[in-house]
Amino acid sequence: MSERHTALRSMHDLGLAAWFGGSLMGALGVNGAAARINDSTQRLPVASAGWARWTPVNAAAIGAHLAGAVGELVTESPRVASQAGVAKMSTIKTALTLGALAVTGYSRLLGMRLEKAGSPSVEGTTEPNYQTPSNVASCQRQMKLLQWAVPALTGALVVVSSYMGEQQKPGQVFRGLLGRAGNLATAPAALGKMAGMAATKRPMAMAGK
């Protein structure tokens, strides 16, 4: 493995680890700790302050992950085209990444709205109480779902990335190349069989007219 590939892989892995770990810790730690504050009007401002301090770090982590992922994709493009199974996993990984980016971005938008809400009385960061204004309560209910969606999607990315790392092992590469070659070798025979079936059905259809 080249030094460039190692650097790209490190950026990819460290960025993803921070993205996943930060979102999980925020949902459990920041939001959970804020909910234990006795003054119900201070729970939301404290949690918002914590998330605001984490946002630049999270943005840097996401940027590092994306830079590493794009760099790896360019470097590994010949293997994506030639090794069976790699293109499929790359597609899954891209879909998960786009989903995680969308959820993270929308979560931050909701977080900014909650920051601007001031100090309303709430049950917790993502739980309103009977005194919570309706617009704030609406944002909180959405955040309650999204706070778990981000670690779920990024956790799935960790699993997929680990699997794709296994695909880079020499034995897996060799078997994947053989699998792709086998598929290409059997393609003409399959096409010939389909053409033969079509030719057989055509006279039968004409005889029935």
Per-residue pLDDT tens digits for 168-191: 654 544 454 455 545 544 445 433
Provide CB contacts within 8 A for 118, sequence distance 6+.
45
Structure-block tokens of residue 162: 């680990």
Residues 98 and 12 in one domain: yes
DSSP single-letter state for residue 84: T
pLDDT over 80 at 199, yes or no? no
Are 60 and 79 within one domain?
yes
Q: What is the pLDDT of residues 79-106, one digit of tens each?
A: 666 666 678 888 899 999 999 999 999 9
The verdict on 127 and 94 lying in the same domain is yes
Our count of domains for the chain comes to 2
pTM > 0.85: yes or no: no
Mean of pLDDT values over 156-176: 68
- Which domain covers residue 162, as residue numbers? 3-168
Identify the band that residue 164 occupies on the pLDDT scale cut at 50, 70 and 90. Answer: confident
* pLDDT surpasses 70 at 208: no
Neighbours of 175 (CB within 10 A): 15
Neighbours of 106 (CB within 10 A): 15
For residues 57 and 18, membership in a common domain is answered with yes
Binned at pLDDT 50, 70 and 90, residue 197 comes out as very low
Tens digit of pLDDT for each residue in 12-62?
999 999 999 999 999 999 999 999 999 999 999 999 999 999 999 999 999
207 neighbors 114 (Cβ within 8 angstroms): no
Residue 5 pLDDT level (bands cut at 50, 70, 90): confident
pLDDT at 204: 45
* Domain match, 111 and 193 both: no
Secondary structure (DSSP) of the chain: --HHHHHHHHHHHHHHHHHHHHHHHIIIIIHHHHTT-SSTTTHHHHHHHHHHHHHHHHHHHHHHHHHHHHHHHHHTHHHHHHSTTHHHHHHHHHHHHHHHHHHHHHHHHHHHHHHTT-S--EEETTEE-TTS-HHHHHHHHHHHHHHHHHHHHHHHHHHHHHHHHHHTSHHHHHHHHHHHHHHHHHHHHHHHHHHHHHHHHHHHHHHT-
pLDDT of residue 126 exceeding 90 = yes
Choose between 87 and 208: higher pLDDT: 87
